[in-house]
Amino acid sequence: MVVVGLAVLLYAGVRLALGAPAAIRGPEISLAPGTLPWYAGLSLLRMLAAYALSLLFTLPYGYLAARNRRAEHILLPLLDVLQSVPILSFLPVVLLSLTAVLPERLAVELAAIVLIFTSQAWNLTFAWYQSLTTIPKELREASAAFRFQPWLRLTTLELPFAALSLVWNSVMSWAGGWFFLMAAEIFSVGHRDFRLPGLGAYLQEAASQGDGWAIVRGVAALVFVIVLLDQLAWRPLLAWADRFKLEMLAGENPPTSWFLDALRKARLVAWARGAVWAPLLARLDAWLLTRLPSPTHLGEQSGAAARWGGRALGGAAALVLVYGGLRAVALLVTLPLAAWADIAGGLALTFLRVAAALVLALAWTVPLGVAIGSSPRLAAWVQPLVQIAASVPATALFPILLLGVTRLPGGINLAAVLLMLMGTQWYLLFNVIAGASAIPQDLKLTTALLRLSRWDRWRTLILPALLPFLVTGAITASGGAWNASVVAEHAEFGGRSLSTYGIGASIARATAAGDYAQLLAATLAMIVAVVLLNRLVWRRVYRYAEDRCRLE
């Protein structure tokens, strides 16, 4: 049902795209240094809008998937499908369909925000779901014994328990969002120029004019914004969220933030907290406690009207799926048998490259992530560097890496694995850091008192504590690797075309040629492969982690 629904959605986008304007001209991009603050502000606002949209999606979606087993059977496969869709190859369809029904500038801005949203939402949702399903049993029983209503349980148990994981995954979401923002701000299709004023367009214009100093200024502005966000947002949030760790003893070196300390000492902030923020939260709590029913009353209120409404909605959705599915099948049957065999072979080879990239990513992210998560002093120095490295648009490095690696043994295949690695490693690293940060100090001291060897400490404490976070990171990382295959297996630059055999190359070539039948078939094949891997491998490992590695 989920795959058919996605096929119908893509088919509808293609039909809308046919009515898009034939020519679109983007704004002129100035390389004057004085325009950089304005462009940086525009890029930052797009990131903020996409992040707010991601949180609005993550909280209810993950909550419903974790609390309703029937909904979980649909929502989790849907999430697997959504995070495996190679959105860069369908950006033209999204842009053209939006410009067909909305004003041009609004359509381009919305498309950019939606593209950034797709890079931020999925790992946040998986992290939120993982936190909800690994809450210790005794804490859940205590909240039930005290008859906590949903809002009270959310604010006193579920959000605090998930705070560290959500903050670290938010850092990852912003790092990935910068990459997609750069791609969205410089996009063009034929005679349609979808550029947006921002840092990405500034860097592209500087590169096209060969202005080296403008490139340096643009990269410096991007790094400045990332470091500023780290000091004013992420480091204070990490220092604040440290209070929610499940431990009996405080850590030896808890994370600190000069900006958070300054806010706590500021008289204006103290006045605003007491006169504005606290009364506002009290009124919100009181209003939501009366509006949101307790779980026992929730089932009593669902009557015949709700059941009939659900059936009517389901019937209408089924009709749409049947009609759209038939149209999509009619498009797919036009492909010859040789094309399907080519897709199957490419799928197998891309799977091997994805597996190799994942193994390489695990080899270095686990030890480094544990070191960063266990040492706030090391995190203070390394975290901004990791954010900057994860935020640099990898597409800018692809041509350089390809030219260097293709001369080595393995050639384009080795280059494809390395390019996939660039799209996977950060998801794993930030989740490992979050898992290592959440290990209670009293358990670390217990391993020291028992004089456990380094291997025994890893086997009995560190790896079990990391396993739920590793699975969450692996799911999003493997989805990122499949997405990266579209640009890793087929690249064109400087009049040259480098390509290897794989499903990503099939999607890239079909996108360039406008072969919608091949594009739909290859994309659906990739989606089915990712969903099967998640259901047959990652979900089973996650169930084990949920049952055996919970902190209780």
- Rounded average pLDDT over 458-479: 87
Q: Which of 102, 89, 90 is nearest to 14 (CA)?
A: 90
pLDDT of residue 505: 83
List CB contacts of 251: < 8 A, sequence separation 6 or more. 242, 245, 376, 441
Our separate counts of H helices and E strands in the chain read 26, 4
Considering all CA atoms of the chain, what is the largest pairwise distance in Å, rounded to the nearest integer? Answer: 73
pLDDT of residue 411: 66
Q: Name the least confident of 165-169, 190-194, 315-319, 440-444.
A: 190-194
3 state DSSP class of 344: helix
Q: Which of 112, 116, 10, 128 is nearest to 79 (CA)?
A: 128
The answer to whether residue 125 scores a pLDDT higher than 80 is yes
pLDDT band at 183 (very low <50, low <70, confident <90, very high): low
For 154-166, write each residue's pLDDT tens digit.
889 999 999 988 9
Q: Name the least confident of 68-82, 126-140, 439-453, 484-498.
A: 484-498
What is the C-alpha separation between 283 and 345, in angstroms, rounded?
60
Q: Average pLDDT of the chain? A: 79
pLDDT of residue 48: 93
The answer to whether residue 436 scores a pLDDT higher than 70 is yes
Residue 497 bridge partners (DSSP): 492
The gap between the terminal CA atoms of the chain, to the nearest Å, is 37
- Rounded average pLDDT over 460-467: 90
Q: Name the least confident of 140-149, 311-320, 413-422.
A: 311-320
The answer to whether residue 550 scores a pLDDT higher than 80 is no
- Rounded average pLDDT over 224-245: 87
The answer to whether residue 17 scores a pLDDT higher than 80 is no
pLDDT of residue 287: 84
pLDDT of residue 468: 87
pLDDT of residue 58: 93
Q: Kind of pairing, strands 188-189 and 192-193?
A: antiparallel
pLDDT of residue 231: 86
Q: Which of 529, 528, 520 is nearest to 89 (CA)?
A: 520
CB burial class (10 A; 0-12, 13-18, 19+) of residue 497?
exposed
For 18-63, write each residue's pLDDT tens digit.
555 555 566 677 888 888 899 889 999 999 999 999 999 999 999 9
pLDDT of residue 304: 56
- Rounded average pLDDT over 200-215: 77
List CB contacts of 461: < 8 A, sequence separation 6 or more. 439, 443, 444, 447
pTM comes to 0.75
pLDDT of residue 295: 45
Copy the structure tokens of residue 492: 């064109």
What is the C-alpha separation between 494 and 180, in angstroms, rounded?
22
What is the C-alpha separation between 42 and 51, in angstroms, rounded?
14
pLDDT band at 450 (very low <50, low <70, confident <90, very high): very high
Q: Considering only residues 501 and 128, tell me which one the structure prediction assigns the higher pLDDT.
A: 128
The answer to whether residue 428 scores a pLDDT higher than 70 is yes
Q: What percent of the chain has pLDDT over 70?
A: 78
CB burial class (10 A; 0-12, 13-18, 19+) of residue 440?
middle
3 state DSSP class of 188: strand
Can you point out the beta strands (E) in 319-455? none
What SS3 string covers 479-534? HHHHHHHHHHCEEEECCEEEECCCHHHHHHHHHHHCCHHHHHHHHHHHHHHHHHHH
> How remote is the C-alpha of 130 from its chain's centroid?
14
Q: Name the least confident of 176-180, 231-235, 363-367.
A: 176-180
Q: Name the least confident of 198-202, 352-356, 387-391, 480-484.
A: 387-391
pLDDT of residue 20: 53
pLDDT of residue 227: 83
The answer to whether residue 474 scores a pLDDT higher than 80 is yes
What is the C-alpha separation between 522 and 350, in angstroms, rounded?
12
Q: What angle do CA 497, 498, 503 make, to 5 degrees?
A: 115
pLDDT of residue 57: 93
The answer to whether residue 294 scores a pLDDT higher than 60 is no
What is the C-alpha separation between 550 and 468, in angstroms, rounded?
8
Phi first, then psi, for residue 122 (nearest 5°) are -70, -45
Residue position matching structure tokens 């204070």: 236
Q: Do 193 and 26 touch, CB atoms closer than 8 A?
A: yes
Copy the structure tokens of residue 422: 């660039």
Q: Do 465 and 134 touch, CB atoms closer than 8 A?
A: no
Q: What is the DSSP letter of 189?
A: E
What is the C-alpha separation between 350 and 58, in angstroms, rounded?
29
Residue position matching structure tokens 């009593």: 300
pLDDT of residue 51: 94
- Rounded average pLDDT over 189-215: 74
pLDDT band at 506 (very low <50, low <70, confident <90, very high): confident
pLDDT of residue 223: 83
Copy the structure tokens of residue 305: 């009207």
Q: Name the least confident of 10-24, 123-137, 203-217.
A: 10-24
Q: Which of 448, 490, 485, 472 is nearest to 534 (CA)?
A: 472
Q: Considering only residues 135 and 509, tell me which one the structure prediction assigns the higher pLDDT.
A: 135
Q: What percent of the chain has pLDDT over 90?
A: 12
Element at 193 (helix H, strand E): strand 192-193
Q: Which of 12-26, 361-375, 536-550 has the highest mean pLDDT?
A: 361-375
Q: Name the least confident of 41-55, 167-181, 362-376.
A: 167-181
Q: Which of 509, 487, 493 is nearest to 207 (CA)?
A: 493
Element at 368 (helix H, strand E): helix 337-374
What is the C-alpha separation between 142 and 146, in angstroms, rounded?
6
CA atoms within 13 A on the CB side of 367: 5
pLDDT of residue 309: 63
Q: Do 206 and 31 touch, CB atoms closer than 8 A?
A: yes
Q: Considering only residues 61 and 409, tell me which one the structure prediction assigns the higher pLDDT.
A: 61
Q: Say what the alpha-carbon torsion angle 128, 480, 81, 200 is, to the nearest 10 degrees.
A: 90
What is the C-alpha separation between 98 and 106, in angstroms, rounded?
9
Q: What is the DSSP letter of 135?
A: S
Phi first, then psi, for residue 393 (nearest 5°) are -60, 110
pLDDT of residue 529: 86
Q: Considering only residues 496 and 104, tell me which one the structure prediction assigns the higher pLDDT.
A: 104
What is the C-alpha separation between 391 and 116, in angstroms, rounded?
13
The length of the chain in residues reads 552
List CB contacts of 84: < 8 A, sequence separation 6 or more. 479, 482, 483, 526, 527, 530, 531
- Rounded average pLDDT over 326-331: 76
Q: Say what the alpha-carbon torsion angle 496, 500, 502, 508 is, to the nearest 10 degrees.
A: 0
pLDDT of residue 299: 41
The answer to whether residue 300 scores a pLDDT higher than 60 is no
The answer to whether residue 133 scores a pLDDT higher than 90 is no
pLDDT of residue 11: 65
- Rounded average pLDDT over 384-398: 66
DSSP-derived secondary structure for 6-66: HHHHHHHHHHHHTTS-S-B-PPP----GGGHHHHHHHHHHHHHHHHHHHHHHHHHHHHHHH
